[in-house]
Amino acid sequence: MTLRQFKVWRGDASGGQLNDYKVEVNEGEVVLDVIHRLQATQEPDLACRWNCKAGKCGSCSMEINGMPRLGCMTRMSTFEEDETISITPLRTFPVIRDLVTDVSFNYEKAQEMPAFAPPADLAPGEYRMQQIDVERSQEFRKCIECFLCQNTCHVVRDHDDNKPAFSGPRLFIRAAELDMHPLDARHDRKEIAQQSQGLGYCNITKCCTEVCPEHIKITDNAIIPMKERVVDRRYDPLVVFGRKILRRDQLAATVPSGPTVHAGPVTVADGQAPVDFGRELTPPQPAETNASGHVNLNEMLSDRAAAASPFGDDITFPINPNSLNYYHPER
Ligand code: SF4
Ligand code: SF4
Ligand code: FES
């Protein structure tokens, strides 16, 4: 047992200050243990949110020495014995009291997001998914909604006025997850992310990825792929060129038409069962044109103009395990 020095923020929405405390620390303890001991021995009204003490509920988010962390997963042994450890509430969200903040911003943004849209031709209970269908998006399902990524993102951390237009990294991984979902019938996830969720505000600093306790590669695996696809369509130099030289009537001859087709089964490597997504695909749609009737050239060069999902069409199954960062423990 050692007596260690702490600075803990006490206060509410009207203001507060860092108070000094000396608290007993035992071998193997985490910061949340220290807060509990502080409540038990010196400050019975210290407010702190927590539930599982196992890194799974996402409740105990706080800033420890200025770093967004989970209190229950931050070992005291990672600090020097003579170090003073500061514990403060999340900075991006309004303080309710002491270490408890109002994180409703994140739930409001989640509510604004269009939900999973099941395919019209399948009834509940008829959905069939296989492991390879979720290889890319399974990583995103590990999110425990601790909102450390939201708290870290400079777009809203220092700019409260960006909050109405910016949903944040937690919602970007949800958008990517749904866009990679083989049964989601919406084909405009990345457009929604760009136009309504503020994807364009993100300048891929990767700070959100650095603090994620679930080690989700938020930037590399969700944000950058979505940005690339948006940029492909909007800012490709070929698109600019196409706008100058092509007109709507030239497009008509290049875009295939026909009835709705049923996707799958998808051909896979020898020895593996074929995959049938059981999903109706819309027929290819005419490519976007600008106000003057010119068409984006990259649409015309695509082998599947206006394909259903930009994430789904360039995948070959099974996905190379080396390009995945999630492995099923039994595989
Ligand atoms: S990568 Fe984007 S979303 Fe993540 S912290 Fe940076 S600006 Fe925010
Ligand atoms: S993505 Fe990671 S940091 Fe963000 S809310 Fe989910 S678990 Fe927390
Ligand atoms: S108490 Fe549940 S994540 Fe820390």
Instruction: Please tell me whether residues 77 and 142 are part of one structural domain.
Output: no
Tell me whether residue 253 is in a domain. no
Q: Do 146 and 94 sit in the same domain of this protein?
A: no
Q: How many domains does the chain have?
A: 2
CA–CA separation, 31 and 65 (whole Å) = 11
Which structural domain range is residue 200 located in? 104-234
In a domain? residue 32: yes
pLDDT at 235 over 80: no
Domain final residue pick, 100, 129, 164: 100
CA of 146 from ligand 2 middle (Å) equals: 5
Verify that 87 and 128 share a domain, yes or no.
no
> For the segment 191-223, what is each residue's pLDDT rounded down to a tens digit?
899 889 999 999 999 999 999 999 999 999 999
Q: Cα torsion for 170, 325, 221, 301, to the nearest 10°?
A: -150
* pLDDT cut 70: percent of the chain above it: 70
Atom of ligand 1 nearest to the CA of 219: 1
Q: pLDDT tens for residues 43-54?
A: 999 999 999 999
Residue 7 resides in a domain: yes
- The average pLDDT across 63-72 equals 96
Ligand 1 atom closest to the Cα of residue 149 is 5
Q: Which ligand is closest to the CA of 59, given by its number?
A: 3
In a domain, 242, yes or no: no
Q: Are residues 110 and 230 in the same domain?
A: yes
Q: Which of 84-98, 170-184, 243-257 has the lowest mean pLDDT?
A: 243-257
Among the three residues 52, 70, 100, which one is the final residue of a domain in this structure?
100
- Taking CA atoms only, the protein residue closest to ligand 1 atom 6 is 205
Give residue 329's pLDDT: 46
The length of the chain, given as a count of residues:
331
Q: Which residue has the higher pLDDT, 287 or 81?
A: 81
Q: What is the per-residue pLDDT for 261?
A: 43
DSSP secondary structure of 51-104: S-SSS-S---EEEETTEEEEGGG-BGGGS-TT--EEEE--SSS-EEETTEE--H
> 16 and 127 in one domain?
no
What CATH number has the domain bearing residue 151?
Answer: 1.10.1060.10
pLDDT at 188: 85
pLDDT band at 308 (very low <50, low <70, confident <90, very high): very low
Q: Do 16 and 132 share a structural domain?
A: no
Does residue 247 fall inside a structural domain? no
Residue 145 Cβ < 6 Å to ligand 2:
yes
In short, whether 87's Cβ falls inside 6 Å of ligand 1 is no
**Is 248 inside a domain boundary?**
no
Residues with CB under 6 A from ligand 3: 50-53, 55-60, 70, 72
By the 8 A CB rule, do 172 and 218 touch?
A: yes
Q: What is the pLDDT of residue 54?
A: 96
Work out the pLDDT band at 128, boundaries 50, 70, 90.
confident
pLDDT higher at 115 or 296 = 115
Pick the residue whose CA is nearest to atom 8 on ligand 2.
146
Specify whether 8 is located in the same domain as 73.
yes
Q: Which of 21-35, 139-153, 224-238, 296-310 bottoms out in mean pLDDT, i.e. has the lowest? A: 296-310
- The closest alpha carbon to 310, from 220, 189, 137, belongs to 189
Confidence of residue 125 (pLDDT cuts 50, 70, 90): confident
The answer to whether residues 30 and 55 belong to one domain is yes
70: CATH = 3.10.20.30
Which listed ligand is nearest to 148 at the C-alpha? 2
* Phi–psi pair at 248, nearest 5 degrees: -55, -40
Q: How confident is the model over 162-186, as pLDDT tens digits?
A: 999 999 999 999 999 999 988 888 8
> 29-43, 51-65, 104-118, 267-281: which has the minimum mean pLDDT?
267-281
Q: Are residues 149 and 212 in the same domain?
A: yes
Question: In ligand 3, which atom is closest to the CA atom of 51?
Answer: 1
Please say which residue of 211, 234, 257 terminates a domain: 234
Considering the domain architecture, whether residues 230 and 120 belong to the same structural domain is answered as yes
Residues 136 and 56 occupy one common structural domain: no
Give the per-residue pLDDT at 254.
43
User: Does 156 contact ligand 1 (Cβ within 6 A)?
Assistant: no
Q: Which of 269, 261, 265 is nearest to 308 (CA)?
A: 261
DSSP 216: -
Dihedral sign for Cα 258, 262, 265, 267, please.
Answer: positive
List the residue whose alpha carbon is closest to atom 3 of ligand 2. 212
Residues 73 and 109 in one domain: no
pLDDT band at 259 (very low <50, low <70, confident <90, very high): very low
